[in-house]
């Protein structure tokens, strides 16, 4: 565990417990998605890992995705597992695998139910209907990167990868949500997972009140500093 003094001028040398943030990207994406948030977290003294999941490989499923994250974490402790969108199906598997996780955070994340295949999530949550409504409402407009600077959005699109259908077919393997402190960051300008829909799903499936940020779905690119501040606030208190 890394401990640093708050200030060289502080005579009491108050110690701050730093965390490792394991950042999980969404479907068909790359770890690069988190690079601006990583910079902000590292400037605050935290460590980060943001691996590329094997999302193009039809031979692997969600447990394999979790193994990639676990390997990236290595022997680090005091881990905050943070997942974006489809990464919500992977993050709890990491937390349930014996990794020393202090907090589990979903950022505009999908919340799985025990035994639920990802392919069934849209119908089970009502997202299939919501998506049709959003497509009609924002006909021809960007639902993901609408509030991301144009050059950055173009780079994100250029790095996007194919998402295998394999992880969508198998039931989510956990019997229950892992007994780990869980937080949800809800994006109030999200056109993909609109806020009213996500408020209902968070309440139904986690029974918690989400924290809100004024951003669209790709919040790590549009509001990296603000998101990093929220994530850093979830790290364990000073000791």
pLDDT digit string (tens) for 76-91? 999 999 999 999 999 9
Written as one string, the DSSP assignment of 189-222 is T-SSS-HHHHHHHHHHHT--PPEEES--S-HHHH
Tell me which architecture the domain covering 3-232 has in CATH.
3-Layer(aba) Sandwich (3.40)
Using alpha carbons only, how large is the chain's radius of gyration in Å? Answer: 18
Q: Which of 26, 86, 78 is nearest to 48 (CA)?
A: 78
Token pair recorded at residue 113: 């139910």
∠ CA(198), CA(199), CA(202), 5° rounding? 80
Please determine, for residue 133, whether its predicted confidence score (pLDDT) is greater than 60: yes
Mean pLDDT over 212-236 rounds to 97
Instruction: Please name the residues in contact with 87: beta carbons below 8 A apart, sequence gap of 6 or more.
Output: 24, 25, 26, 53, 109, 110
Please determine, for residue 173, whether its predicted confidence score (pLDDT) is greater than 50: yes
Q: What was the pLDDT predicted at 50?
A: 98
Q: Which of 133, 81, 137, 130 is nearest to 109 (CA)?
A: 81
Q: What was the pLDDT predicted at 67?
A: 98
Token pair recorded at residue 179: 């007994």
Residue 3: pLDDT band (50, 70, 90) is very low
Bridge partners of 184, per DSSP, are 106
Q: What was the pLDDT predicted at 236?
A: 79
Mean pLDDT over 64-87 rounds to 97
* First-to-final CA distance of the chain: 12
Please determine, for residue 146, whether its predicted confidence score (pLDDT) is greater than 60: yes
Q: φ and ψ at 128, to 5 degrees?
A: -60, -45
Token pair recorded at residue 238: 């000073």
Mean pLDDT over 136-152 rounds to 96
Query: Cα–Cα distance between 5 and 29 in angstroms, integer?
Result: 37
| pTM given for the model | 0.91
- Per-residue burial over 61-86, b if 16 or more Cβ lie within 10 Å, else e, is bbebbbbbbbebbeebebbbbbbbbb
Q: What was the pLDDT predicted at 39?
A: 98
């Amino acid at each position: 565990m890394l401990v640093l003094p708050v200030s060289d001028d502080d005579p009491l040398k108050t110690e701050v417990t730093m965390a490792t943030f394991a950042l999980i990207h969404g479907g068909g994406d790359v770890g690069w998605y988190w690079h601006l948030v990583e910079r902000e977290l590292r400037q605050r003294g935290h460590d980060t890992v943001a691996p590329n999941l094997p999302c193009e490989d039809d031979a692997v499923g969600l447990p394999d995705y979790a193994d990639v994250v676990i390997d990236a974490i290595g022997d680090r402790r005091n881990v905050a597992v943070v997942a974006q969108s489809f990464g919500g199906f992977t993050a709890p598997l990491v937390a349930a695998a014996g990794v020393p996780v202090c907090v589990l955070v979903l950022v505009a994340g999908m919340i799985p139910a025990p035994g639920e295949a990802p392919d069934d999530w849209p119908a089970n949550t009502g997202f299939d209907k919501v998506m049709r409504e959003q497509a009609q409402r924002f006909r021809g407009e960007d639902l993901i990167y609408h509030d991301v600077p144009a050059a950055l959005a173009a780079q994100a699109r250029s790095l996007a990868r194919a998402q295998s259908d394999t992880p969508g077919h198998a039931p989510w393997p956990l019997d229950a949500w892992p007994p780990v402190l869980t937080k949800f960051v809800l994006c109030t300008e999200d056109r993909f997972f609109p806020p009213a829909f996500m408020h209902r799903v968070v309440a139904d499936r986690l029974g918690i009140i989400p924290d809100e940020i004024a951003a669209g779905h790709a919040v790590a690119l549009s509001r990296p500093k603000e998101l990093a501040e929220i994530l850093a606030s979830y790290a364990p208190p000073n000791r």
